[in-house]
Amino acid sequence: MGEAVPSTTKALYIGMEVAIAVSSVLGNVMVVWAVKINRSLRDTTFCFIVSLALADIAVGALVIPLAITISIGLKTHFYSCLLVACTVLVLTQSSILALLAIAMDRYLRVKIPMSYKRVVTPRRAGMAVLLCWTVAFVVGLTPMLGWNNLQKLQENGTLTSDLNITCEFETVVSMEYMVYFNFFGWVLPPLLVMLLIYVEIFYMIHRQLNKKVTTGHADPSKYYGKELKLAKSLALVLFFFAASWLPLHILNCITLFCPDCQKPTFLIYIAILLSHGNSAVNPIVYAFRIKKFRSAFLKIWKQYVCCKETPPQGNYMSERGPSLDMRQHRNSNL
């Protein structure tokens, strides 16, 4: 962002960043809280959703305040600025891998419904989450290991002996890393794989609904109907992620392949806001599209915000399902 930015534009940008940060933290804390209080949300898919929510909380609580600090032209040490940039990369990569894990989990649930619980155990899901975060740290922290602009800045004489600079993302992070390694290697391929997975999921669900095969469930149509609805909701989360992050990656490609091309500052601000805003979108999608989340959010609002007592027995029934409560009642009468 080489050109001077009007103070009103910068103030508007900072105001929107603050609003996104608050919404992201509050919304995703609600997601984690909802999973905690609702037993029916504690399956493997929602384990990955919690991982995604934790990354989004970190964006709101950590990345956005740092982005605001950078936007005011903070002078800092080169490696301090690079660490801030790498934090964004780690969290972004974690979100992508969580979305990929969610897509694979839903694929297995539709592909092997009868043996799904035997194959996808809570322990394996936990290991998958750990693997996602490990890969995210390796990919995101790669610039700290040397793939950065330190040598370039030293060669062109723009870096002082004490390594202090005006902290900007493009100043410290190599565009070769961002485009060739990050975008072409770790963002675009997972997005394309997820697109293919969801296409296959929708195809399998529609095929199963048409021929009504046995799934080990009492009502196959109801089972696949629920899977279809949840798959649509999670595919929508994926769509919003791609729509939010691709503009920024496209700008990075323009920076690398067309160094003389001018990028308007307001366009860069919009791309940054879109990427950060994605962290606040997911809880809204869950609330409107997934009934279990909507019920849990309402319970949190009534019980902890409005301080209204909710009957615990009714909540447990909704979480475990009426059939389980009826079986327990029948057993108690024997």
- The CATH number assigned to the domain holding 64 equals 1.20.1070.10
Q: Examine the pLDDT at 185 and tell me if it is beyond 60.
A: yes
- Asked if the structure places residue 126 within a domain, the reply is yes
Q: Examine the pLDDT at 329 and tell me if it is beyond 60.
A: no
- Asked if the structure places residue 329 within a domain, the reply is no
Q: For residue range 85-125, what is the model confidence (pLDDT) as tens digits?
A: 999 999 999 999 999 999 999 999 999 999 999 999 999 99
- Asked if the structure places residue 178 within a domain, the reply is yes
Q: For residue range 226-255, what is the model confidence (pLDDT) as tens digits?
A: 899 999 999 999 999 999 999 999 999 999
Q: Which domain holds residue 58?
A: 7-320
Number of domains in the chain: 1
- Asked if the structure places residue 85 within a domain, the reply is yes
- Asked if the structure places residue 107 within a domain, the reply is yes
312 pLDDT band (50/70/90 cuts)?
A: low
Q: What is the C-alpha separation between 207 and 291, in angstroms, rounded?
A: 25
- Asked if the structure places residue 331 within a domain, the reply is no
148 near 174, Cβ under 8 Å? Answer: yes
Q: What is the C-alpha separation between 237 and 28, in angstroms, rounded?
A: 14
Helix (H) or strand (E) segment spanning residue 75: strand 75-77
Q: What is the C-alpha separation between 81 and 164, in angstroms, rounded?
A: 9
Q: Examine the pLDDT at 137 and tell me if it is beyond 90.
A: yes
Q: What is the C-alpha separation between 241 and 245, in angstroms, rounded?
A: 6
- Asked if the structure places residue 165 within a domain, the reply is yes
- Asked if the structure places residue 307 within a domain, the reply is yes
Strand, helix or coil for residue 217: coil
